[in-house]
Structure 1
Amino acid sequence: MYKLSIYKYIGLFGISMAVASCKVPALPQLTEKKSVPITYNNNSDTTNTGNLQWRSFFNDPNLVNLIDTALKNNQELMITLQEIEIAKNDIRIRQGKLLPTVGAKVGLGVEKVGRYTSQGAGDAATEIAPGKEVPDPLMDYTLTAYANWEVDIWKKLHNAKKAAVTRYLSSIEGRNFVLTNLIAEVANSYYELLALDNQLETVKQNIELQRKALEVIKVQKEATRVTELAVQKFRAEVLNSQSLEFEIIQNIKETENKINLLLGRYPQEIPRDKNNFLGLTPMAVHSGIPSQLLGNRPDIKKAELELAAAKLDVKVARAEFYPSLDISAAVGLQAFKPSYIIKFPESILYSLAGDLAGPLINRNGIKAEFNTANSHQLQAMYNYERTILNAYLEVSNQLSSIDNLDKSYNTKSEEVTALTRSIDISNDLFRSARADYLEVLMTQRDALAAKLELIETKKKQFNAITNVYRDLGGGWK
């Protein structure tokens, strides 16, 4: 009869576990879209500039030294490196949960129970030796080693560890993405600084030209060929150019400080060659084929790894629906008197237990966790697809920009040449009274604006080259 009761309870427990394990949601089957067009603008060249190391791509020694310093001192990069360490430690945490937890315990306790209780009456009637009753109060000395282990039946802990490893690899790709952006940002700021230097020099030259023109106008006024209005107009033009000069000087200061921030240091002058910026030739780039982006771009690989980790999270959340098996064991020594601890086998204690536990009541909470993990998985998939699309569009935009900026620079160069010649022509016509002073002023103003725009276009050319190198995945290797 007793055995039948045991079997009945075991049967009820098995039924409970079966109920707890039924209606487990199926794993969602997701297929992310990773296809890209075959070429960029029908260009089938497989050579990819993104495979070049940044030291081979940038040939300005001053810029190379700045990038070197940034890679050593940049705070954002240092923060990213700590994220890698955090992800690495998470792997160790997940690995630890796969192994049994083993510990040791030393205990000391005292117990006093009422004499007129079942335990007190039993102790009073018991003799541990002839003529020796059980001590009252009763001390308890324990020296125990114990272990607890969750048996990973459903691969929940293994999948959690795999997810941690995947996120660690994702953090490395995140570091690589920060590297590519940092190198590009330093280079773009450096070219901006060179452009500002040349714009400042152009404005200074224009101020000298305007001052000479102002002196001519003053002479013309004394000869009653022009009025005081012309003198004031030329003086105002000189003052306007001087104001522009101060504005450029401030922009230079701010750009230098921007570079110093990227380099992780306090303000100091940025070493550079300020001469012949317009004579510099932008580096040649080869875009390769779009499918190479999947292997070159750190942000794409990071998004792919985050998607893989999210898929593993769904498996971990699904495993929560199943029963878990926990095994615990302990062995040690216990007695109510220290001298009795070394008496064997009377002082020996041991235990071994296995628990099979499954959710019965809180299934809605577990289902909510599973649905949340699945939503994160969908987010990661859409982010992965968007990252691929964005990468292709970025490269396509920069390639188009390089082509159009090259055409714009050639056109702007011809405009500057024509306006520079027109300055001399307008001055000659003014001296011979065949042009008024307003035509001279407008010619000088147009020439200055064209020269500044030419320098700006040259800067944009270098920025586009740098950006396409970054967008192709260059810089982190």
Structure 2
Amino acid sequence: MSTKKRLGNWLIIAGLAVTIAGCKDLKLVTKTENTYTPANYQGSQQDTLNSAKTHWNEFFKDPYLISLVDTALKNNQELNIMMQEITIAKAEVRAKKGEFLPSANLQVGAGVDKVGRYTRNGALEANNQIAPGKEFPEPMSDMIVGVNASWEIDIWRKLRNSRDAAANRYLASVEGKNFMVTRLVSEIANSYYELVALDNKLEILNQTIEIQSNALQIVKMQKVAGMVSELAVKKFEAEVLKNQSHMYYIRQSIIEAENKINFLVGRFPQPVQRNSKNFTDLVPDTIYSGIPSQLLQNRPDIRKAELELVATKFDLKAARADFYPSLRLTAGAGFNAFNVQYFIKAPQSLIYNIAGDLVAPLINRNAIKAKYFSANAKQIQAAYNYEKTILNGYIEVTNTLSMISNLKKSYDLKTQQVQALTQSITISTNLFSNARADYMEVLMTQRDAVESKFELIEMKQQQLSSWISMYQALGGGWK
């Protein structure tokens, strides 16, 4: 073996040794995700029954609400945009799969070449012949038909790790869509009951205006009889006008609530069908929280965070493989001639090649190191994000459980308050008619009654909202 060949071999071996040894100097900060969850939710008993497993069209009973959710899942623009994100992620997986498979290309080409007489090639053509009695044609055409193939051997699983990272990101995008579905179902349900609550407020206000208008007539009659002054008349009249003005505010709120729902279901403004009767009598079904560990399977945002963490682990492995040598095989075969008739003459017109390249980074590997450390930081970041998402899910369920319990107790007391104030309206009106109560007592009683009824409706809306939020917090609504 010549000295030149020996030197070349030693350089190759030294380069590979430096590359592999250099990886040992890379110190990483490691982070193992903590998936611990308590045995049960704070303030609740351990029970494996979980309402998240209930399909949304069984969880909700109102047929108008079910119809709205069903339409939204088909037409909501934001959800359809997310579906395209899933398609993009799926295409990325397909692209990554193709990178570690052999590729082949068909080559067909033709051209014409005229060289100068007093050039090296021109002089050679002039002094030689293709065959006895046949000179080189001028200009000379060139035609080629062949197949070229290349294949990077995935020795260190770099390409397959990149494929697996893309596959997990695709699955994460699916979970992202599922999480969007849970939020969409919850938002439509909350908006629907907000609209129903506004209808009930408007009805209460109309009833109150009617009562106050009747009281105003009584006050006017008493003024004529000299029992009260003009001040009492104006006070009652102002109260009626105030409530009539507030009525238009509620009507505007109803229009905005309807159009919010219309936007979510992907349609232009139109009346929203709903059932507004007996709103305050609605009692949400019992909701079962299950155990905290079930959140890891039921909540799409937790599943998404987990898959993104797995993807970053594959990214880190792929980034580490950049320090190692890569082996690429190339080959090609075909026919090449300056005339079509010579294509069939083999092996004279047959061409082929085969080669293998072993390439390893040797000097100035800062870019590779930066990519490696970046992948490591992203993996640690994803681990913390996964833990944060689990913690957030547990706290959301705990808070909502407490809210459901406290709202029920508060609603029972508020109902008693409304009943007492409703009775006091009749009592104060009768006393005032018999001159045994001041007109301000009547006004204040009516005002307190209206406010308490509004508060009762708002509390019922909060009850339903917490019931819906609990369903979402448990991971229901996307299956």
Per the TM superposition, whether the score is higher than 0.5 is yes
What is the aligned partner in structure 1 of residue 13 from structure 2? 14
Matched residue, 1:128: 130
Matched, 1:336 2:368: no
**Equivalent of residue 466 in structure 2, options 460, 464, 467:** 464
Superposition pairs for residues 289-304 of structure 1, below 5 Å? 289-304=291-306
Cα RMSD of the aligned pairs, angstroms, is 1.5
One-letter amino acid matched to 1:188? N
The residue number in structure 2 matching 1:245 is 247
In the TM superposition, residue 82 of structure 1 has moved relative to its aligned partner by: 1.1
Query: Which of 377, 381, 384 is the aligned partner of 1:382?
Result: 384
Find the counterpart in structure 1 of residue 236 from structure 2.
234
Q: In 2, Cα distance between the equivalents of 1:159 and 1:27?
A: 19
**2:31 aligns to what?**
30
What's the CA shift for 1:214?
Answer: 0.5
2:107 is aligned to 105
CA deviation digits over 1:254-275, x for unaligned, max 9?
A: 1111111111111121111221
CA distance in 2, matches of 1:385, 1:442: 53
- Between Structure 1 and Structure 2, how many residues are aligned? 476
Shift of 1:454: 0.2
Offset from partner CA, 1:10-68 (integer Å, 9 cap, x none): 22122123223331136654310111121112421221111111122111111111111
Task: Output the CA distance in 1 between the equivalents of 2:8 and 2:182.
Answer: 64
Provide the secondary structure at the position in 2 that maps to 1:22. Answer: helix
Q: In 2, distance between residues paired with 1:94 and 1:212?
A: 78
* TM alignment of 1:200-349, pairs within 5 A: 200-349=202-351
Q: Distance in 1 between matches of 2:31 and 2:454?
A: 53
Tell me the amino acid that sits aligned with residue 462 of structure 2: K
Separation in structure 2 between the aligned mates of residue 16 and residue 39 of structure 1, nearest angstrom: 57
Q: SS of the counterpart of 1:23?
A: helix
Query: Whole-Å Cα distance in 1 between the matches of residues 434 and 277 of structure 2?
Result: 37
TM superposition shift of 1:115: 4.1
After superposition, the C-alpha distances for 1:224-255 in whole angstroms (9 at most, x for unaligned) are 11111111111110011011111111111111
Q: In 1, distance between residues paired with 2:15 and 2:130?
A: 45
1:71-220 equivalences under 5 Å are 71-220=73-222
Q: Percent identity?
A: 54
SS of the aligned residue for 1:140 comes to: strand
The answer to whether the 8 A contact 1:21-1:358 is kept is no
Could you tell me how far 1:139 is from its partner in structure 2?
2.3
> In structure 2, which of residues 410, 425, 428 is the aligned counterpart of residue 426 of structure 1?
428
Conserved? CA contact 2:198–2:250, under 8 Å: yes
| Contact 1:304-1:384 within 8 A present in 2 as well | yes
The SS at the match of 1:128 is: strand
Query: Using the alignment, how far apart are the partners of 1:115 and 1:309 within structure 2?
Result: 63
Query: Contact 1:111/1:137 (CA < 8 Å) preserved in 2?
Result: yes
1:41-52 equivalence runs, <5 A: 41-52=43-54
8 Å contact kept, 2:325–2:358: yes
Q: Distance in 1 between matches of 2:230 and 2:158?
A: 90
Q: How does the TM-score come out when normalised to structure 2?
A: 0.96
Deviation at 1:425, TM superposition (A): 1.8
Report the TM-score when normalising by structure 1.
Answer: 0.97
From 392, 395, 405, give the equivalent of 1:393: 395
1:345 offset after TM fit, Å?
0.9
CA contact (8 A) 2:28 2:373 kept: no
- For residues 50 and 362 of structure 1, the distance between their equivalents in structure 2, rounded to whole angstroms, comes to 54
CA distance in structure 2 between the partners assigned to 1:114 and 1:141 by the alignment: 21
Give the ranges of 4+ consecutive aligned residues of structure 1 lying more than 6 Å apart after TM superposition.
Answer: none
Instruction: Tell whether the 8 Å contact from 1:27 to 1:315 is kept in structure 2 after alignment.
Output: no
| Amino acid across the alignment from 1:36 | T
Aligned equivalents of 1:42, 1:212: Cα separation in 2: 51
Q: CA deviation at 1:209?
A: 0.5
C-alpha distance in 1 between matches for 2:404 and 2:442: 35
Instruction: Please say which of residues 405-414 and 352-361 is displaced more in the overlay.
Output: 352-361
Alpha-carbon distance, 1:431 to partner: 2.2
Shift of 1:117: 4.2
Q: Deviation per CA, 1:358-414, whole angstroms, max 9, x where unpaired?
A: 123341011111122122212211111111111011111111110111011011111
Name the SS of the counterpart of 2:279 in structure 1. coil
What is the match of residue 5 of structure 1?
Answer: 4
In structure 2, runs of 5+ residues without a counterpart are: none
Query: What is the CA–CA distance in structure 2 between the aligned matches of 1:77 and 1:411, rounded to whole Å?
Result: 41
- The answer for the alignment partner of 1:360 in structure 2 is 362
AA paired with 1:398? T
Range with bigger deviation, 452-461 or 130-139: 130-139
Give the whole-Å Cα distance in 1 for the aligned partners of 2:12 and 2:47: 67
The answer to whether the 8 Å contact 2:198/2:253 transfers is yes
Query: For 2:109 and 2:307, how far apart are their aligned partners in 1?
Result: 48
**Cα separation, 2, equivalents of 1:418 and 1:113:** 110
